[in-house]
Amino acid sequence: MSKELSYKEALTRINQIVNRIENEDPDIDELSQLVKEATALIAQCKEKLENTETEIQSSLEKLN
């Protein structure tokens, strides 16, 4: 992927990929590309969630 998507955009794209795999029966080459894209997006979302959790924890610790 060339640009980083927002969390919401990434989830939308992941859902589009899943829908395409489930309903459009892509050929093996396209399936491979779709799975690679979805995997990269999932990793991006996971990283965003972990970063957000760290930021929230840090903010809450400052309140104590």
The neighbour count for residue 61, using CB atoms within 10 Å, is 8
Nearest CA among 48, 21, 25, 50 for reference residue 36: 21
The whole-angstrom distance between residue 57's C-alpha and the CA centroid of its chain comes to 22
The share of the chain scoring above pLDDT 90, in percent, equals 91
- Quick: pLDDT tens for 5-31: 999 999 999 999 999 999 999 999 999
Identify which has the larger pLDDT, 14 or 3.
14
Distance CA 47, CA 43 (A): 6
Mean pLDDT of the chain: 94
